[in-house]
């Protein structure tokens, strides 16, 4: 029987427009921890969801920033680089395919890899914005002081990071659905599909009868929404897909 990898490789080759949903499993080969896997950081201390919330930021922004920088290891962020999974998606673009990436990851590595259409569903660690005046600052400014402030004249407000905190609205869902609607093929990589509303996107694709494939080390609650399901190491599977080209 022809393997799921071979079948998926054929569909990737045939597709002109591909939507890709990615999660933490895509970035682990770059040295970035998987926060939600069985051994992920979030499971070490469930209170981190409380601390990484809009409510806690508003209540105690100074302590929020101390915990935020520790949890997301901001000092190490610039040491991370795209890995061969990110580069595989860029190579699809270089072959003339239209690729839209909808990512849960906040590390910015898809953009760093060179992909042109990246929807950062949960925001990005690389910037922070002043809630008072709307001025956006790069990571370099965020790291200049323990609690970063706006330096615009007459402002001085504490900055808010440009990631989606618990309690924040998701503003990219409609854009993500539009990318899926236009695609010939949906690929889902390295995500457990446990977080809502992100995990509604494969359902949306399924309802539109989009051909779809899932690559994840562990089973997900939504495996039955996919035409091709591969439970294996993502990096090794990507290498197998490339060999099938």
Binding site for nicotinamide: residue ranges? 35, 106-107
Q: Which residues pair with 128 in a beta bridge?
A: 137, 161
Q: Where are the alpha helices (DSSP H) in the chain?
A: 4-14, 48-51, 54-59, 61-71, 84-94, 109-113, 139-142, 173-182, 201-207, 234-243
- Comparing CA positions, the residue from 9, 28, 2 lying closest to residue 187 is 9
Annotated binding site: 24, 28, 35-36, 104, 106-107, 122, 130, 133, 150, 155, 191-192, 216, 233
**CB contact set of 8 (below 8 Å; sequence gap of 6+):** 213, 228, 230, 241
DSSP symbols for 109-138: HHHHHT-S-EEETTEEEEEEE-TTT--EEE
Cβ atoms < 10 Å from Cβ of 243: 10
Catalytic residue set: 122
Annotated binding site for NAD(+): 24, 28, 35-36, 104, 106-107, 122, 191-192, 216, 233
Annotated binding site for Zn(2+): 130, 133, 150, 155
């Amino acid at each position: 029987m022809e393997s799921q990898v071979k079948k998926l490789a054929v569909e990737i080759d045939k597709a002109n427009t591909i939507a890709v949903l990615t999660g933490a499993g895509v970035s682990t080969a770059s040295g970035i921890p998987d926060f939600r896997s069985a051994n992920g950081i979030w499971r070490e201390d469930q209170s981190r969801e409380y601390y990484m919330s809009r409510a806690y930021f508003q209540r105690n922004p100074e302590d929020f920033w101390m915990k935020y920088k520790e949890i997301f290891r901001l000092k190490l962020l610039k040491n991370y680089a795209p890995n061969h999974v990110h580069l595989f998606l860029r190579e699809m673009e270089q072959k003339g395919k239209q690729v839209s990436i909808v990512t849960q990851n906040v590390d910015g590595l898809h953009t760093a890899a060179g992909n042109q259409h990246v929807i950062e569903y949960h925001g990005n660690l690389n910037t922070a914005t002043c809630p008072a005046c709307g001025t956006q600052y790069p990571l370099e400014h965020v790291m200049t002081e323990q609690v970063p402030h706006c330096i615009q004249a007459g402002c001085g407000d504490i900055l808010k990071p440009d990631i989606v905190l618990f309690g924040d609205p998701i503003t990219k869902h409609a854009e993500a659905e539009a990318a899926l609607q236009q695609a010939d093929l949906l690929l889902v990589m390295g995500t457990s599909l446990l977080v809502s509303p992100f995990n509604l996107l494969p359902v949306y694709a399924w309802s539109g009868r989009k051909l779809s494939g899932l690559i994840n080390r562990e089973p997900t609650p939504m495996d039955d929404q996919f035409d091709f399901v591969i439970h294996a190491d993502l990096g090794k599977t990507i290498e197998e897909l490339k060999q099938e080209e």
